[in-house]
Amino acid sequence: MAASNTGDDSDDDFIVDIDGIQAHGVGAADITKLKANGYYTVASVHAATRKTLLKVKGFSEVKVEKIKEAIVKCQPSASGFMTAVELGHQRKRVCKISTGSKQLDAILGGGFQSMSISEVYGEFSEHTERRFKALLTWSRMWEDTVIPYDVRRCPTSEVDPDVAQENIAYARALNSEHQLELLNTLSNNFATNEYRLLIIDSIMACFRVDYCGRGELADRQQKLNQFLSKLTHMAEEFNVCVLMTNQVQSDPGASALFAGADGRKPIGGHILAHASTTRVLLRKGRGEERVAKIQDSPDCPEREATYIITNGGINDPEKA
- Model confidence over 126-144: pLDDT tens digits? 455 455 455 444 444 556 6
Query: 248 forms bridges with which residues in the sheet?
Result: 266
The fraction of the chain above a pLDDT of 90, given in percent, is: 43
pLDDT score, position 152: 43
- pLDDT (0 to 100) of residue 151: 45
What pLDDT, on a 0 to 100 scale, did the predictor assign at position 64? 96
**Residue 240: half-sphere exposure toward Cβ, Cα within 13 Å:** 29
Residues of the chain with CATH 1.10.150.20: 14-79
Instruction: Write the pLDDT tens digit of every residue in 161-189.
Output: 677 677 778 889 999 999 999 998 888 88
d(CA 145, CA 240): 19
149 three-class SS: coil
**pLDDT of 125 strictly over 50:** yes
The confidence score (pLDDT) of residue 90 equals: 81
Q: CATH 3.40.50.300: which residues of the chain?
A: 93-319
Q: Inform me whether the pLDDT recorded for 253 exceeds 80.
A: no
Q: CA 175 to CA 134: how far, in whole Å?
A: 24
More confident residue, 294 or 10: 294
pLDDT of residue 34: 95
Topology of the domain covering 14-79:
DNA polymerase; domain 1 (1.10.150)
pLDDT digits (tens, 9 = 90+) for 36-66: 998 999 989 998 999 999 999 999 999 999 9
Across the chain, what does the average pLDDT equal? 81
d(CA 114, CA 151): 25
Whole-angstrom distance, CA of residue 249 vs CA of residue 251: 6
Q: Which of 65-74, 242-251, 254-263 has the lowest mean pLDDT?
A: 254-263
Residue that wins the pLDDT comparison between 133 and 303: 303
Which CATH entry fits the domain spanning 93-319: 3.40.50.300, 2.40.30.10, 3.30.1330.30, 3.40.50.2020?
3.40.50.300
Q: Can you list the positions of beta strands (E) in 233-299?
A: 241-246, 248-250, 264-266, 278-284, 289-296
Kindly indicate the confidence band of residue 210, based on its pLDDT and cuts at 50, 70 and 90: very high
Q: Is pLDDT at 14 greater than 80 in this prediction? A: no
Identity (one letter) of the amino acid at 27?
G
| CA–CA dist 75, 44 (Å, integer) | 12
pLDDT of residue 276: 94
* pLDDT above 70: residue 148: no
Note if the bond before 202 is cis, omega within 30 degrees.
yes
pLDDT at position 262 is: 57
The CA-atom distances, in angstroms, between 250 and each of 74, 122, 129, 259, 302 are: 50, 11, 23, 9, 21
Can you tell me the distance from the alpha carbon of 32 to that of 73, in angstroms, rounded to the nearest whole number?
19
The Cα 173–Cα 201 span in angstroms is 10
